Amino acid sequence: MSHGEAGVGKDGNSVSQAGVYNFATLNSGNIVADLENGSCRLVILISGRGSNMQTIVDTIEQDALPARVCAVVSNRADAAGLPWASERGIPTHVVPHRDYATRQEFDAALADTIDAYEPDYVVLAGFMRVLTPAFVERYEGRLLNIHPSLLPAFPGLHTHQQALDEGVQWHGCTVHFVTAKLDHGPVVAQGIVPVLGEDDAESLAARLLSVEHKLYAQVVRWLAEGRVSLDENHRVHVAGVATRAFLPDGTPAISGKELS
């Protein structure tokens, strides 16, 4: 089900080509999105509330970033983030996973919807479906996720309860490039929160969510500025940035902050 305009590519035409990857290879051998006309095209995938998606949209607008959320796509028609995005004039689509017999068929339909917008990056923001290796490979180096733990600790679901059960005193969130291994992949940035004695999973999740928003917003700033690249050893580089570790108030973990 589509809630928006048809796919419109960088050239303004309706497009549905697969495999149009806007990559440039730097002299160093690193790969980085080739931001045509200086504008970074994002497609955001959600399954529910969409508060991370909303923060990304608001950050792009408030900071006047050279970036655009071209579409928001959900596997669930009842995702609360969809009407929010529509009201902001962002095309929205639903690709219901239950309509497809296999993960491969669902992922192929999802990719068709995404590719119509020719995104530089596909941003998972509370998207609750496991993606096939073929899908992940298709968007290698362009597919980002936020996970509510300090990976590699606590992959999977119920991360806040996992943290409480382990008795860790610091919990956190990770923005990472997606690989075929679930909740694994090159780390772009991490943020932390303390675990308090009276916490339950809900209070810990709420404390972490505000850090998630600041972290994803910061990563989108870096993406929009074309600073992020991935080397052949699957390490992330962010040009001119002193640290990619963030404190509970969302500030960088060391002073000096940005080098340029």
Note the residues at the interface with ligand GRF (CB under 6 A).
46, 48-52, 125-126, 146-148, 173, 209, 212
Closest approach, Cβ 145 to ligand GRF, in A, equals: 7
Distance of closest approach, residue 60 Cβ to ligand GRF, in angstroms:
16
Host H or E run for residue 122: strand 121-124
Identify which of 137, 165, 187 has the alpha carbon closest to the alpha carbon of residue 21: 137
Cβ closer to ligand GRF: 30 or 47? 47
Q: Tell which residue, 1, 9, 2, has the closest CA to residue 116.
A: 9
Q: Which is nearer to ligand GRF, 35 or 79 (CB)?
A: 79
User: Whole-number minimum distance, CB 28 to ligand GRF, in Å?
Assistant: 31
The verdict on whether 158 is a catalytic residue reads no
Q: How far is the CB of 190 from ligand GRF (least distance, A)?
A: 12
Phi, psi of 241 (to 5 degrees): -115, 130
Cβ proximity of 90 and 74 under 8 Å: no
* Closer CB to ligand GRF, 3 or 49, in the complex: 49
Cβ closest to ligand GRF, residue 52 vs residue 162: 52
Task: Write the single-letter amino acid at 199.
Answer: D
Catalytic residue, chosen from 3, 93, 97, 147, is: 147
* Structure tokens belonging to residue 81: 């983030």
Say which residues have a Cβ less than 8 Å from residue 140's Cβ, sequence separation at least 6: none
Catalytic residues: 147
